[in-house]
Amino acid sequence: MKKILTPQSAAGVSLAFFLACLAPQSQSQSASPATSQAVERQVALAIVQRKIAAKPPTIRVRQHEKISLAWTSDEIVNIHLHGYDQLLIVKPGETVSMRIDASVPGRFPVSAHGYGAAAEDKGKQHKHQHMAPLMYLEVLPQ
């Protein structure tokens, strides 16, 4: 069996990259009328020694699914979900939630901008560790 990459799927892939790079937050409907909208899924993610210990390097959701990532870390870290452009700082002993209304389909890396002192420097520069993203969020089109 041969797998053929159609132009369409290739376009889908580059669109995902495009979205991941461009932070389309502004294009998506950002104002949700009710802040108390139910979260459909919660995933706990623990960073230990600068990695997510448990298996899932990729979390898949359906488009428009509401998901909450509950982060903990053994070291202060600044986390960036690309595309949706959400940033948060997690300190040891805290659980910090990242709520996502998966409005935009695509594959989005979640990276650490810095650990330790570098995490608190919320500088505008976009600086990543020289390491693979912590995980990916995949939003499947409806």
Nearer to Cu ion, 80 or 107 (CB): 80
Kindly state the number of chain residues that form the binding site for Cu ion, as judged by CB under 5 A. Answer: 2
Among 19, 47, 67, 80, interactor with Cu ion by CB under 5 A: 80
**Least spacing, CB of residue 10 vs Cu ion, in Å:** 25
Q: Does 78 bind Cu ion (CB under 5 A)?
A: no
Q: Please answer whether residues 5 and 13 qualify as being in contact, where contact means their C-beta atoms are separated by less than 8 angstroms.
A: no
DSSP 72-115: EESS-EEEEETTTTEEEEE-TT--EEEEEE--S-EEEEEEEEEE
The footprint of Cu ion on residues 99-118 (CB under 5 A) is 111
Would you count residue 73 as binding Cu ion (CB under 5 A)? Answer: no
Gap between the Cα atoms of 49 and 36, Å rounded: 34
Residues forming contacts to Cu ion in the complex (CB under 5 A) are 80, 111
